[in-house]
Amino acid sequence: MMGEPVGRQDRLFYQFDLEEMVPADNLLRRIDAVLDLNWLRGEMQPHYSHLGCPSVCPELMMRMLLVGYCYSIRSERRLCQEVQVNLAYRWFCGLGLEDKVPHHSTFSVNRHGRFRDSDILRKVFEEVVCGCMTAGLVGGEGFAVDASVIEANASRFHRVEGSEVDWTPEQRARRPVQEYLVALESENPPINPKQKPKAMSPSDPTAAWTTRGRPKVMFGYSVNYLIDLENAVIVDVEATPTRISKEVDATETMIERSEERFALKPKRLAGDVAYGTAEMLGWLVDHDIDPHIPVWDKSQRDDGTFSRADFLYDEARDLYSCPGAKLLRTTGRLHSDNTYRYIASKHDCDACALKPKCCPNTPARRIPRNPNEAARDYTRALMETEAYAASSGQRKKIERLFGEAKQILSMVRLRLRGLTGARDEFLLTATVQNLKRLANHTTRPPPQPMMA
C-alpha cells in the first residue's frame, strides 16, 4: 500500500528536543565528549571590558571555529549560515533553536584583537594535547618533524620582482604589510639577508615565492608539525615562510616548547634530509636526542678523486691522515663558511704518487670540517641501526596527517593573510586533527564478541 505523502509542515506545536536530534555516533557529539572549554571564559575575562553591551561568548566563537575546521567551512560568512540551519552544529555550539547566530564580522574583530592578544588558539591546542596525554595517546619517546607547503592567500600574478618594495601609504596600512615591516626589524626576519627572494607579494609579503611541492610557482607558507610517533598526535605546530632554514629553526622552537609546556622530551627525532644539516644534528645531540635523520652530506666526490670519507680523522690529535699516510693539520681558525680547514703539506703532495687522484688542480689537499662533524659521525653510525630503520617507517605517519589536512580538511590554500593568519589556521587545523584522534580513541565502541 502506498504511504501518505510527506511534507506536511502545518503543525502549530512540536515536541522537540535538540539533544535527541544528534545521533550518538555523530562526529561533533564524539568530539564534545572529549572537549572541555569551561576554562576558556575565565582565560578571556581580562580581555573584555566590564562596561558596555554584552559581547558574543568566546566559547561559542571557539566552538563555531572548530565546527568550521572540522567540516572544511573556512569562510566565516558561510560558517554562520551553516550553523543557522544545521541542528548538530547548533547543538555543539550550545545554541538553542531560537538563539541568534553571531554575525560573521565578530570573528575577524576578535581574531585581530582578543584572540591574538590572549594567544587563545594555542591555549586551546595545548589543552587538547594535554587531553591526548591524559588518554595515554602520547608516548613521548619518539617524535617526527616535517613541513608541508600551503599556498598563501596571495596571487602569483600580482607580485613585485626582488625584495625591495617602495610601499605606498595604502599598502603600509594593511595588516600583513605592517606585520612584515615589524618582523624585518626583529632578530628573526622573515627573509634571509644572504639570499634575497626573487619576488614578493605586496598583499602578503611574508609569504615565500616557491615551487616546492607544486608544479607551479606560488606564494606559500609551511605548516611545521612535530608529532609523537606512537599515535600520530600533533604535539606542536608552527607556521613559517617556505624556507628550509626557517623550518629547521621551527624544529628547535617546537622541541623546546613541548618540553616547557608538557615536560615532553623525545629520545629520538625522525625527519627527512632537509633536517640533516650539521647545525641541526649538533643541536639535537647536544640536547641528548638521537637524530634519526639522513645526514646532509655533500662531501662525496663523483669525479674519481678521493672524498672526505677516504681521510681518517684522529680526534685525540685533531688531524686527518690521508690515503698516502700523510697528515693534514688545522690552524684552528673558524672560517666564514663555518668550517675548520685541514691542509696537507705542499711538500708531501708534490712528492705523492696519489696526487692525480687527490688534488690534481690544487697545490695541496684541503679537508673542511664543520664544528658539528662529531654529531654527523654519530648520526651516520645511527643510520646503520634497526631503530633508525623503524623510525624511517614510522615517519610516514606525518605525511598522512598532511594528507588529512589537505584532502579532508581542505587546507590547500590559506584564507587568512600574514604569518599570524597562517599560524591561526594551522593551529585550528591541528587542534581538529588531534580532537578527531582523541574522540576516536575515547568513544570507540567496544569490540563485538566473536560469534561461535
Q: Which three cell numbers stand for residue 250?
A: 621551527
C-alpha angle with apex 119: 117 to 120, nearest 5 degrees?
115
**Nearest Cα to Cα of residue 226 among 270, 284, 287, 273:** 270
**Nearest Cα to Cα of residue 229 among 397, 382, 438, 430:** 397
Residue with grid cell 565546527, as numbered in its chain: 67
Task: Please tell me whether residue 101 binds ligand SF4 under the rule CB under 6 A.
Answer: no
Task: Please tell me whether residue 355 binds ligand SF4 under the rule CB under 6 A.
Answer: yes
Instruction: Give the distance, in angstroms, between the CA of residue 333 and the centroid of all CA atoms in the same chain.
Output: 37
Task: Please tell me whether residue 349 binds ligand SF4 under the rule CB under 6 A.
Answer: yes
Instruction: Decide: 418 and 206 in contact? Cβ < 8 Å.
Output: yes
- The footprint of ligand SF4 on this chain (CB under 6 A) covers a number of residues equal to 13
Residues in Cβ contact with 249 at an 8 Å cutoff, skipping those fewer than 6 apart: 188, 240
Which of the ranges 37-45, 64-72, 355-363, 436-444 carries the binding residues for ligand SF4, by CB under 6 A?
355-363
Binding to ligand SF4 (CB under 6 A) within 297-336 occurs at 322-324, 326
- Smallest separation (angstroms) from ligand SF4 to the CB of 345: 8
Instruction: Decide: 88 and 28 in contact? Cβ < 8 Å.
Output: yes
| 71 or 320: CB nearest ligand SF4 | 320
Instruction: Decide: 396 and 390 in contact? Cβ < 8 Å.
Output: no
| 285 or 349: CB nearest ligand SF4 | 349
- Smallest separation (angstroms) from ligand SF4 to the CB of 434: 55
- Smallest separation (angstroms) from ligand SF4 to the CB of 365: 4
Q: Which three cell numbers stand for residue 315?
A: 680526534
| 342 or 402: CB nearest ligand SF4 | 342
Task: Please tell me whether residue 295 binds ligand SF4 under the rule CB under 6 A.
Answer: no
- Smallest separation (angstroms) from ligand SF4 to the CB of 303: 15
| 65 or 328: CB nearest ligand SF4 | 328
Binding to ligand SF4 (CB under 6 A) within 66-85 occurs at none
DSSP string, 339-353: -EEEEE-HHHHHT-T
Binding to ligand SF4 (CB under 6 A) within 232-261 occurs at none
Instruction: Decide: 258 and 264 in contact? Cβ < 8 Å.
Output: yes
The site for ligand SF4 (CB under 6 A) is made up of: 322-324, 326, 344, 348-349, 352, 354-355, 358-359, 365
